[in-house]
A and B are shown apart, each in its own frame.
Chain A
Amino acid sequence: DAGVTQSPTHLIKTRGQQVTLRCSPKSGHDTVSWYQQALGQGPQFIFQYYEEEERQRGNFPDRFSGHQFPNYSSELNVNALLLGDSALYLCASSQRDGYGYTFGSGTRLTVV
């Protein structure tokens, strides 16, 4: 039973560039949530996708956008990267009622 798969594992980008992160949820899960985790801090909620629509959004600017595909996989896009966007980006999948998230191993994004 595959868990949550995220790609790439590491990424280095330059300020102003754009990045796309990908997530395949655990089998049987239909809801994907994205979190940003800075070093030494708790995960910060970015947004959640269900039925290919953004259902919930945290306090992140419009530079952060996403998409969910019919097979429940998801992408996180960040435009006009800033140094402060450097963090671990975590994808979490669940069933709609969210009993316990299953997290992927994350994508470590470094903006230079």
Chain B
Amino acid sequence: GQQVMQIPQYQHVQEGEDFTTYCNSSTTLSNIQWYKQRPGGHPVFLIQLVKSGEVKKQKRLTFQFGEAKKNSSLHITATQTTDVGTYFCAGRETSYDKVIFGPGTSLSVIP
């Protein structure tokens, strides 16, 4: 079945440093979503990417969908303590398919 993997599992950065997490799917995806979960909280939707090679930006966050629609990345520029949390990618094979989450990358930011 469909599997979604993420690396790294954990990342500790100094405040102001950049951060990147990578997501890979075992199958071609119709779209990919990214979520953020703060410690003790629930996942919060950040963005959805649909097109091959698509790049979207939200302030300091840059999201990219691979050309083959099997991988994606999230890059945060100049991290802040408010960026702390676990970032999940989640993919679906068709528009109405179940959304499968990756294991997440836990980001710690050292002030």
B-binding residues in A (CB < 8 A): 33, 35, 41-45, 48, 55-56, 58-59, 90, 92, 96-106
Contact = CB atoms under 8 A, between A and B. Distances in A.
Interface stretch (B14-22, B76-84, B94-102): B94-102
Contacts of B1: 59
Interface stretch (B43-51, B57-65, B66-74): B43-51
Interface residues of B, number: 21
25 contacts: A33-B99, A35-B101, A41-B103, A41-B104, A43-B43, A43-B88, A45-B101, A56-B97, A56-B98, A58-B98, A90-B42, A90-B43, A96-B96, A97-B95, A97-B96, A98-B92, A98-B95, A100-B33, A100-B45, A100-B48, A101-B43, A101-B45, A103-B43, A103-B44, A106-B42
B86 to A, nearest CB: 8
A58 B99 CA distance: 10
Q: Is the interface of A mostly helix, strand, loop or mixed?
A: loop
B104 A42 contact: yes
Nearest to B89: A42
A45 B100 contact: yes
Nearest to A4: B42
A45 B99 contact: yes
Contact of A99 (B42, B44, B48): B48
B8 to A, nearest CB: 14
A86 B51 CA distance: 38
Contacts of A33: 98-99
Interface in B27-44: 33, 35, 41-44
